[in-house]
Amino acid sequence: MSGKTIKKKKKRLIFRSTLLVIMLSLVVFAVASAFQEDGVSVEEGETAPNFALKKFGTDETVELKDYRGKGVMINFWATYCEPCKDEMPYMEKLYPKYKKKGVEILAINLDTTDIVVEQFMREYQLTFPILQDKDGQVMNLYNIGPIPSTLFIGPDGKIEETVIGPLTLDKLEGHLQDITPSS
């Protein structure tokens, strides 16, 4: 082999080794980032992080901390979500009964267009608070993925249950009973 061939092979080996090290570094960084905690716990048994959102159609701001002492159901939904549409009538049906018992339903909407939310609220005759999370701040705070997703928070402010996917009427009522404050 000539000196030029050996130098080319050596340069190629160094170049490939450097690329391999860079690629491995990127993979390690990506994996580490995926597992890195952001300091907010949304696990069952932990205190639910506070948030403040505007109530749809008003200037009223709703903060989670204002409901301490009550059971709170937080439902993340959107008008384009078919399973969300299915569970809304169940939520509306149970809302008056459980509101009297000290449980609040907060439905956090993820739509960006007000008119579709307005139409949806009229169509389903919703009376529980609909909160707007247009920029996804609360969705990110709670690390919400698929919708509908629902958190059930006890009167002590701790997350008792997280449900991903739609709720049936019976399951919803069972969860609401579990977070009802003791008399």
Give the CA-trace dihedral at 118, 122, 128, 132, to 10 degrees: -10
pLDDT score for 36? 41
Structural domain span for residue 20:
1-36
Task: Name residue 130's beta-bridge partners.
Answer: 107
In three-state secondary structure terms, 5 is helix
Q: Are residues 82 and 10 in the same domain?
A: no
Structure tokens at 116: 């579709």
pTM of this structure: 0.76
Q: Are residues 20 and 70 in the same domain?
A: no
Which pLDDT tens digits describe the chain residue by residue (183 residues)? 666 777 888 888 888 888 776 776 666 555 554 444 443 458 889 999 999 999 998 999 999 999 999 999 999 999 999 999 999 999 999 999 999 999 999 999 999 889 999 999 999 999 999 999 988 999 999 999 999 999 999 999 999 999 999 999 999 999 999 999 985
Q: What is the pLDDT of residues 114-163, one digit of tens each?
A: 999 999 999 999 999 999 998 899 999 999 999 999 999 999 999 999 99
Distance from C-alpha of 6 to C-alpha of 178, rounded to nearest angstrom = 74
Looking at the domain assignment, is residue 46 inside a domain? no
Structure tokens at 111: 């739509």
Looking at the domain assignment, is residue 44 inside a domain? no
